[in-house]
Structure 1
Amino acid sequence: MPVLPRLEGSTFDADIRDRHLFYDYAAHDANGNPERWRYEMWFYNEDRIVYAIHGGPMAGRKNFQTATYQCIRPGELWQVNWLEETGTICSLVYDIPNRRITTLLGFSKGHWTQNEAAHGDKRNPADLSRWRELAKIGTSQADRVLLSEQAEILEDFRGAGDLEPIDMSWPTL
Protein backbone atom coordinates (compact mmCIF):
# COMPACT_ATOMS: atom_id res chain seq x y z
CA MET A 1 0.00 0.00 0.00
CA PRO A 2 1.47 3.38 -0.91
CA VAL A 3 2.24 6.37 1.22
CA LEU A 4 0.19 9.28 -0.14
CA PRO A 5 1.58 11.48 -1.52
CA ARG A 6 4.43 9.27 -2.69
CA LEU A 7 7.19 8.47 -0.24
CA GLU A 8 9.86 10.17 -2.33
CA GLY A 9 10.16 13.76 -1.14
CA SER A 10 7.64 13.26 1.69
CA THR A 11 8.27 13.79 5.39
CA PHE A 12 7.30 10.16 6.15
CA ASP A 13 10.73 9.17 7.49
CA ALA A 14 11.01 12.20 9.78
CA ASP A 15 7.36 12.28 10.85
CA ILE A 16 6.19 8.72 11.28
CA ARG A 17 8.46 5.83 10.21
CA ASP A 18 9.34 3.58 13.19
CA ARG A 19 7.47 5.92 15.56
CA HIS A 20 6.00 4.30 18.66
CA LEU A 21 3.21 5.90 20.67
CA PHE A 22 1.37 5.15 23.88
CA TYR A 23 -1.93 7.01 24.17
CA ASP A 24 -5.02 7.07 26.38
CA TYR A 25 -8.60 7.58 25.36
CA ALA A 26 -10.73 9.31 28.01
CA ALA A 27 -13.72 6.97 27.65
CA HIS A 28 -16.56 5.61 29.78
CA ASP A 29 -17.48 2.11 30.89
CA ALA A 30 -20.90 0.50 30.34
CA ASN A 31 -22.23 2.32 33.45
CA GLY A 32 -21.02 5.74 32.29
CA ASN A 33 -18.07 5.87 34.68
CA PRO A 34 -14.88 7.50 33.36
CA GLU A 35 -12.06 5.14 32.46
CA ARG A 36 -8.85 5.22 30.43
CA TRP A 37 -8.36 3.02 27.41
CA ARG A 38 -4.60 2.64 26.82
CA TYR A 39 -3.39 1.86 23.29
CA GLU A 40 0.10 1.30 21.92
CA MET A 41 0.84 1.93 18.23
CA TRP A 42 4.05 1.36 16.30
CA PHE A 43 4.13 2.83 12.79
CA TYR A 44 6.38 0.01 11.62
CA ASN A 45 7.11 1.10 8.04
CA GLU A 46 5.34 2.46 4.96
CA ASP A 47 3.18 -0.70 4.72
CA ARG A 48 2.48 -1.90 8.26
CA ILE A 49 1.35 -0.96 11.73
CA VAL A 50 1.85 -3.04 14.89
CA TYR A 51 -0.27 -2.41 17.96
CA ALA A 52 -1.41 -3.63 21.36
CA ILE A 53 -4.46 -2.63 23.38
CA HIS A 54 -3.96 -2.43 27.15
CA GLY A 55 -7.26 -0.92 28.39
CA GLY A 56 -10.97 -0.80 27.62
CA PRO A 57 -13.22 -3.47 26.09
CA MET A 58 -10.56 -4.55 23.57
CA ALA A 59 -7.73 -4.87 26.13
CA GLY A 60 -5.56 -7.91 25.49
CA ARG A 61 -5.49 -7.57 21.70
CA LYS A 62 -2.18 -7.65 19.76
CA ASN A 63 -2.22 -7.15 16.02
CA PHE A 64 -0.32 -6.06 12.97
CA GLN A 65 -1.89 -4.94 9.74
CA THR A 66 -1.28 -3.52 6.30
CA ALA A 67 -2.03 0.20 6.45
CA THR A 68 -2.18 3.19 4.17
CA TYR A 69 -0.50 6.41 5.28
CA GLN A 70 -1.65 9.76 3.99
CA CYS A 71 0.10 13.03 4.74
CA ILE A 72 -2.40 15.79 5.48
CA ARG A 73 0.12 18.45 6.49
CA PRO A 74 3.87 17.61 6.52
CA GLY A 75 5.40 17.65 9.98
CA GLU A 76 1.95 18.00 11.58
CA LEU A 77 -0.87 15.65 10.49
CA TRP A 78 -0.93 12.10 9.16
CA GLN A 79 -3.89 9.79 8.53
CA VAL A 80 -3.44 6.01 8.84
CA ASN A 81 -6.15 3.56 7.71
CA TRP A 82 -6.51 -0.22 7.89
CA LEU A 83 -9.02 -3.08 7.77
CA GLU A 84 -8.92 -5.87 10.33
CA GLU A 85 -9.76 -9.57 10.09
CA THR A 86 -12.75 -8.91 12.36
CA GLY A 87 -14.22 -6.67 9.65
CA THR A 88 -13.44 -3.54 11.66
CA ILE A 89 -12.45 -0.45 9.66
CA CYS A 90 -9.93 1.83 11.42
CA SER A 91 -8.94 5.40 10.62
CA LEU A 92 -6.47 7.28 12.81
CA VAL A 93 -5.23 10.88 12.53
CA TYR A 94 -1.92 11.58 14.26
CA ASP A 95 -1.57 15.24 15.24
CA ILE A 96 2.16 15.58 15.90
CA PRO A 97 2.44 19.11 17.40
CA ASN A 98 -0.66 18.74 19.60
CA ARG A 99 0.23 15.20 20.74
CA ARG A 100 -3.27 13.92 19.90
CA ILE A 101 -4.76 10.88 18.20
CA THR A 102 -8.23 11.14 16.65
CA THR A 103 -9.90 7.95 15.47
CA LEU A 104 -13.00 6.68 13.76
CA LEU A 105 -13.54 2.97 14.16
CA GLY A 106 -16.25 1.06 12.32
CA PHE A 107 -16.47 -2.05 14.49
CA SER A 108 -18.08 -5.10 12.96
CA LYS A 109 -21.08 -6.25 14.98
CA GLY A 110 -19.20 -9.40 16.01
CA HIS A 111 -16.13 -7.51 17.19
CA TRP A 112 -18.20 -5.06 19.25
CA THR A 113 -20.78 -7.44 20.75
CA GLN A 114 -18.27 -10.23 21.39
CA ASN A 115 -15.24 -8.11 22.23
CA GLU A 116 -13.63 -10.73 24.48
CA ALA A 117 -13.43 -13.05 21.47
CA ALA A 118 -11.49 -10.26 19.71
CA HIS A 119 -8.71 -10.48 22.33
CA GLY A 120 -5.52 -12.40 21.63
CA ASP A 121 -2.52 -12.22 19.35
CA LYS A 122 -2.72 -12.41 15.56
CA ARG A 123 0.39 -14.62 15.59
CA ASN A 124 -1.72 -17.32 17.29
CA PRO A 125 -3.66 -19.22 14.56
CA ALA A 126 -6.62 -19.93 16.90
CA ASP A 127 -7.00 -16.20 17.70
CA LEU A 128 -6.78 -15.22 14.04
CA SER A 129 -9.39 -17.84 13.04
CA ARG A 130 -11.75 -16.65 15.80
CA TRP A 131 -11.33 -13.02 14.66
CA ARG A 132 -12.26 -13.95 11.09
CA GLU A 133 -15.46 -15.56 12.37
CA LEU A 134 -16.39 -12.31 14.16
CA ALA A 135 -16.51 -10.53 10.79
CA LYS A 136 -19.36 -12.86 9.71
CA ILE A 137 -21.72 -11.81 12.53
CA GLY A 138 -24.50 -9.40 11.55
CA THR A 139 -26.96 -9.07 8.73
CA SER A 140 -24.80 -6.91 6.42
CA GLN A 141 -21.64 -4.81 6.20
CA ALA A 142 -23.79 -1.90 7.36
CA ASP A 143 -24.31 -3.66 10.70
CA ARG A 144 -21.53 -1.74 12.48
CA VAL A 145 -20.89 0.28 15.61
CA LEU A 146 -19.14 3.60 14.89
CA LEU A 147 -16.89 4.98 17.61
CA SER A 148 -15.23 8.40 17.35
CA GLU A 149 -12.68 9.15 20.06
CA GLN A 150 -9.68 11.35 20.83
CA ALA A 151 -6.65 10.34 22.83
CA GLU A 152 -3.76 12.09 24.52
CA ILE A 153 -0.29 10.84 23.60
CA LEU A 154 1.64 9.89 26.74
CA GLU A 155 4.86 8.50 25.23
CA ASP A 156 6.49 9.09 21.85
CA PHE A 157 9.71 7.33 20.82
CA ARG A 158 11.31 5.38 17.97
CA GLY A 159 11.57 1.61 17.81
CA ALA A 160 9.76 -1.53 18.91
CA GLY A 161 9.62 -0.97 22.66
CA ASP A 162 8.00 -4.16 24.00
CA LEU A 163 6.10 -4.89 20.78
CA GLU A 164 7.38 -7.77 18.69
CA PRO A 165 8.72 -7.02 15.21
CA ILE A 166 6.88 -8.67 12.33
CA ASP A 167 7.95 -10.54 9.21
CA MET A 168 6.81 -8.68 6.10
CA SER A 169 5.88 -12.03 4.49
CA TRP A 170 3.17 -12.66 7.10
CA PRO A 171 -0.27 -12.22 5.49
CA THR A 172 -2.56 -9.33 6.30
CA LEU A 173 -5.76 -8.03 4.78
Structure 2
Amino acid sequence: MAPGNNLPDFLTNTPLHPSFDRDIRDTHLVYDYDAQDNDGNPEKWRYELWCFSDTRVVYAIHGGPMAGRLNYQRATYQCIRPGELWQINWLEETGTVVSAVYDIKEQKMTTIIAFSEGHWSEAEKAHGNKRNKDDLKRWRTLADVGKQTSRFMLSEQASILEVFKGKGNLEPISDDDPLF
Protein backbone atom coordinates (compact mmCIF):
# COMPACT_ATOMS: atom_id res chain seq x y z
CA MET A 1 0.00 0.00 0.00
CA ALA A 2 1.32 3.46 -0.89
CA PRO A 3 1.89 5.79 2.10
CA GLY A 4 -1.18 7.86 2.92
CA ASN A 5 -3.64 5.71 1.01
CA ASN A 6 -6.57 4.23 2.92
CA LEU A 7 -5.21 5.30 6.30
CA PRO A 8 -5.69 4.77 9.11
CA ASP A 9 -5.33 1.03 8.69
CA PHE A 10 -4.08 -1.89 10.74
CA LEU A 11 -1.74 -4.72 9.89
CA THR A 12 -0.87 -7.71 11.98
CA ASN A 13 0.84 -10.80 10.68
CA THR A 14 0.11 -12.63 13.92
CA PRO A 15 -2.93 -14.89 13.55
CA LEU A 16 -5.60 -14.49 16.20
CA HIS A 17 -5.01 -17.22 18.76
CA PRO A 18 -7.87 -19.77 19.08
CA SER A 19 -8.20 -18.93 22.79
CA PHE A 20 -9.64 -15.53 21.81
CA ASP A 21 -13.22 -16.82 22.10
CA ARG A 22 -12.62 -18.09 25.62
CA ASP A 23 -10.29 -15.37 26.89
CA ILE A 24 -11.46 -12.14 25.28
CA ARG A 25 -14.53 -12.20 23.01
CA ASP A 26 -17.49 -10.40 24.64
CA THR A 27 -15.43 -9.81 27.82
CA HIS A 28 -16.32 -6.69 29.77
CA LEU A 29 -13.72 -5.20 32.11
CA VAL A 30 -14.19 -2.47 34.73
CA TYR A 31 -10.92 -1.18 36.14
CA ASP A 32 -9.49 1.66 38.23
CA TYR A 33 -6.22 3.50 37.84
CA ASP A 34 -4.76 4.97 41.03
CA ALA A 35 -4.13 8.61 40.14
CA GLN A 36 -4.00 12.09 41.62
CA ASP A 37 -6.08 15.19 41.07
CA ASN A 38 -4.49 18.55 40.23
CA ASP A 39 -3.79 19.16 43.93
CA GLY A 40 -2.02 15.82 44.41
CA ASN A 41 -4.91 14.16 46.23
CA PRO A 42 -5.53 10.48 45.48
CA GLU A 43 -8.36 9.70 43.09
CA LYS A 44 -9.53 6.81 40.93
CA TRP A 45 -9.81 6.95 37.17
CA ARG A 46 -12.42 4.34 36.30
CA TYR A 47 -12.49 2.83 32.81
CA GLU A 48 -14.83 0.29 31.29
CA LEU A 49 -13.83 -1.76 28.24
CA TRP A 50 -15.94 -4.27 26.35
CA CYS A 51 -14.05 -6.48 23.90
CA PHE A 52 -17.01 -6.55 21.54
CA SER A 53 -15.56 -8.62 18.70
CA ASP A 54 -12.24 -9.65 17.16
CA THR A 55 -12.04 -6.22 15.46
CA ARG A 56 -13.84 -3.80 17.82
CA VAL A 57 -13.82 -2.47 21.39
CA VAL A 58 -16.43 -0.34 23.11
CA TYR A 59 -15.53 1.75 26.14
CA ALA A 60 -16.60 4.40 28.63
CA ILE A 61 -14.46 6.56 30.90
CA HIS A 62 -15.96 7.43 34.27
CA GLY A 63 -13.08 9.13 36.12
CA GLY A 64 -10.15 11.46 35.55
CA PRO A 65 -9.71 14.13 32.90
CA MET A 66 -11.37 12.01 30.19
CA ALA A 67 -14.49 11.17 32.26
CA GLY A 68 -17.61 11.39 30.15
CA ARG A 69 -16.12 9.82 27.01
CA LEU A 70 -18.14 7.05 25.33
CA ASN A 71 -16.50 5.50 22.32
CA TYR A 72 -15.86 2.45 20.17
CA GLN A 73 -12.84 1.71 18.01
CA ARG A 74 -11.37 -0.75 15.59
CA ALA A 75 -8.84 -2.80 17.52
CA THR A 76 -6.26 -5.50 17.09
CA TYR A 77 -5.70 -8.27 19.61
CA GLN A 78 -2.55 -10.30 20.17
CA CYS A 79 -2.28 -13.27 22.47
CA ILE A 80 0.88 -13.13 24.54
CA ARG A 81 0.09 -16.24 26.60
CA PRO A 82 -3.27 -18.06 26.22
CA GLY A 83 -5.42 -17.80 29.33
CA GLU A 84 -3.02 -15.24 30.81
CA LEU A 85 -2.01 -12.19 28.74
CA TRP A 86 -3.57 -10.32 25.82
CA GLN A 87 -2.58 -7.08 24.13
CA ILE A 88 -5.31 -4.81 22.76
CA ASN A 89 -4.39 -1.86 20.49
CA TRP A 90 -6.35 0.94 18.85
CA LEU A 91 -6.14 4.43 17.33
CA GLU A 92 -8.55 7.20 18.30
CA GLU A 93 -9.99 9.80 15.93
CA THR A 94 -8.25 12.36 18.20
CA GLY A 95 -4.88 10.94 17.14
CA THR A 96 -4.36 9.16 20.46
CA VAL A 97 -2.84 5.66 20.36
CA VAL A 98 -3.78 3.10 23.04
CA SER A 99 -2.04 -0.17 23.83
CA ALA A 100 -3.35 -2.21 26.76
CA VAL A 101 -2.23 -5.54 28.17
CA TYR A 102 -4.95 -7.50 29.96
CA ASP A 103 -3.44 -9.77 32.60
CA ILE A 104 -6.12 -12.35 33.27
CA LYS A 105 -4.36 -14.12 36.14
CA GLU A 106 -3.24 -11.00 38.04
CA GLN A 107 -6.43 -9.03 37.20
CA LYS A 108 -4.43 -6.03 35.97
CA MET A 109 -4.63 -3.76 32.95
CA THR A 110 -1.28 -2.26 31.93
CA THR A 111 -1.48 0.53 29.38
CA ILE A 112 0.49 3.04 27.41
CA ILE A 113 -1.68 5.82 26.06
CA ALA A 114 0.00 8.25 23.67
CA PHE A 115 -2.42 11.16 23.90
CA SER A 116 -2.31 13.62 21.04
CA GLU A 117 -1.60 17.13 22.26
CA GLY A 118 -5.16 18.20 21.49
CA HIS A 119 -6.72 15.24 23.27
CA TRP A 120 -4.70 15.79 26.46
CA SER A 121 -4.54 19.59 26.60
CA GLU A 122 -8.21 20.06 25.64
CA ALA A 123 -9.61 17.02 27.48
CA GLU A 124 -13.09 18.51 27.94
CA LYS A 125 -13.48 18.64 24.15
CA ALA A 126 -12.84 14.87 24.07
CA HIS A 127 -15.91 14.20 26.24
CA GLY A 128 -19.16 13.02 24.67
CA ASN A 129 -20.44 10.09 22.65
CA LYS A 130 -19.03 9.05 19.28
CA ARG A 131 -22.58 8.35 18.08
CA ASN A 132 -23.31 12.09 18.39
CA LYS A 133 -22.10 13.65 15.11
CA ASP A 134 -21.16 16.96 16.79
CA ASP A 135 -19.03 15.17 19.39
CA LEU A 136 -17.25 13.11 16.72
CA LYS A 137 -16.63 16.21 14.59
CA ARG A 138 -15.14 18.03 17.61
CA TRP A 139 -12.96 15.01 18.49
CA ARG A 140 -11.50 14.91 14.99
CA THR A 141 -10.26 18.50 15.35
CA LEU A 142 -8.18 17.47 18.38
CA ALA A 143 -5.94 15.39 16.10
CA ASP A 144 -4.89 18.60 14.31
CA VAL A 145 -3.45 20.24 17.45
CA GLY A 146 0.33 20.01 17.75
CA LYS A 147 2.46 17.54 15.82
CA GLN A 148 3.10 13.81 15.97
CA THR A 149 5.82 14.17 18.61
CA SER A 150 3.86 16.53 20.88
CA ARG A 151 2.18 13.79 22.87
CA PHE A 152 1.43 13.17 26.50
CA MET A 153 2.65 9.65 27.24
CA LEU A 154 0.70 8.05 30.08
CA SER A 155 1.94 4.67 31.34
CA GLU A 156 -0.28 3.25 34.06
CA GLN A 157 -1.45 0.02 35.62
CA ALA A 158 -5.02 -0.47 36.79
CA SER A 159 -6.69 -2.98 39.07
CA ILE A 160 -9.55 -4.85 37.45
CA LEU A 161 -12.65 -4.69 39.63
CA GLU A 162 -15.13 -6.64 37.50
CA VAL A 163 -14.93 -9.13 34.64
CA PHE A 164 -18.09 -10.41 32.98
CA LYS A 165 -19.48 -11.30 29.58
CA GLY A 166 -21.74 -8.93 27.69
CA LYS A 167 -22.38 -5.25 27.21
CA GLY A 168 -23.27 -4.24 30.75
CA ASN A 169 -24.44 -0.62 30.46
CA LEU A 170 -22.50 0.03 27.25
CA GLU A 171 -24.30 0.53 23.97
CA PRO A 172 -23.70 -2.27 21.43
CA ILE A 173 -22.27 -1.53 18.00
CA SER A 174 -22.04 -3.29 14.68
CA ASP A 175 -18.81 -4.28 12.96
CA ASP A 176 -20.07 -1.99 10.18
CA ASP A 177 -20.44 1.16 12.33
CA PRO A 178 -18.24 3.97 10.97
CA LEU A 179 -14.95 4.55 12.77
CA PHE A 180 -13.47 7.83 11.61
Q: Any gaps of 5 or more consecutive residues in structure 2?
A: 1-9
Provide the TM-score with structure 2 as the length reference.
0.91
- Aligned pairs for 1:71-110 (under 5 A) are 71-110=79-118
| CA displacement at 1:3 relative to structure 2 | 7.5
Specify the alignment match of 2:149 in structure 1. 142
**Aligned-partner Cα distance in 2 for 1:21–1:143:** 30
Provide the TM-score with structure 1 as the length reference.
0.95
> Conserved in 2, the CA contact under 8 Å of 1:69 and 1:79?
yes
**Aligned-partner Cα distance in 1 for 2:88–2:158:** 15
Q: Say whether 1:124 aligns with 2:132.
A: yes
- Aligned pairs for 1:19-168 (under 5 A) are 19-138=27-146, 140-168=147-175
Specify the alignment match of 1:6 in structure 2. 15
Number of residue pairs aligned between Structure 1 and Structure 2: 171
**Aligned-partner Cα distance in 2 for 1:134–1:2:** 25
> Conserved in 2, the CA contact under 8 Å of 1:4 and 1:71?
no
The one-letter code sitting in structure 1 at the alignment partner of 2:89 is: N
Q: Secondary structure of 2:50's partner?
A: strand
Identity across matched positions, percent = 61
| CA displacement at 1:11 relative to structure 2 | 0.6
**Aligned-partner Cα distance in 2 for 1:63–1:51:** 5
Kindly tell me: are residues 51 and 3 of structure 1, through their superposed partners in 2, closer, same or farther at Cα, counting changes over 3 Å? farther
